[in-house]
Amino acid sequence: MKSKWLSLLGRLLIGGLFVAAGGLKIIDPKSFARAIVDYQLVPSALVPLSAVLIPWWETVAGALVIAGWRWRTGALAVLTLLSAIFVGATCITLLRGLSPTCGCFGMLSERVGPMSLLLELGVLLLSASLLRAELRGEPGKAGSSSV
């Protein structure tokens, strides 16, 4: 019972975070495109497409995780994948000595740094844990119990 509610809390937290993050980027794709350029990791030709798709992956997957009704496993996998990519990008950027605007929350973003990396690692850990529980069919999985 306890793990069922912890799972629900985790899903609400991670889903809510990504819906907020994705939503802020959706309303200002140019700012997010600029942030992507600053990371110097994505070829210029792919920047506009990335600036459009990534926020929608975040928002849709986040909403599916919150709803918990269908495709929850896939949604958690998407969020885990995105979290891993963000952690990787931050690590590479910090190792290069750059500190661009994170771009995580659209125009509200702060600069990349150790604190943002810690936050991203926490998000990755949480999403990966929830995904692992889903794949193992633990309490809280869609269809197995009420939450």
Partner 1 sequence: MTPAVRHGLSETLLVLAAASALGLAVNALSPAGISVTHPLALKDLDPRYITVEETRVLFDSGQCVFLDARKPDEYAKGHIAGAINYPADQFVALYAKLDAILMAAPVLAVYCGGGDCALSHLLADRLGEAGYKRVKIFHGGWQEWKAHGGPAE
* Rounded least distance, CB 96 to partner 1, Å: 10
Question: What are the counts of helices (DSSP H) followed by strands (DSSP E) for the chain?
Answer: 5, 0
Of residues 2 and 95, the one with the C-beta less far from partner 1: 95
CA atoms of 48 and 43, how far apart (whole Å): 10
Smaller CB distance to partner 1: residue 126 or 131?
131
Nearest distance in Å: CB 18, partner 1:
11
Give the integer Cα–Cα distance in Å for 106 and 59. 13
Burial class (CB in 10 A: 0-12, 13-18, 19+), 107: middle
* Least Cβ distance, residue 73 to partner 1 (angstroms): 4
Q: Which is nearer to partner 1, 2 or 75 (CB)?
A: 75
Closest CA to 55 of 93, 103, 117, 98: 103
Nearer to partner 1, 2 or 46 (CB): 46
Task: Write down the least CB distance from residue 29 to partner 1, Å.
Answer: 5
The residues that touch partner 1, with contacts defined as CB under 8 A, are 26-30, 33-34, 37-40, 44-45, 47-49, 51-53, 55-57, 59-61, 64, 71, 73-75, 77-78, 81, 97-101, 131, 134-137
Instruction: Classify 130 as helix, strand or coil.
Output: helix
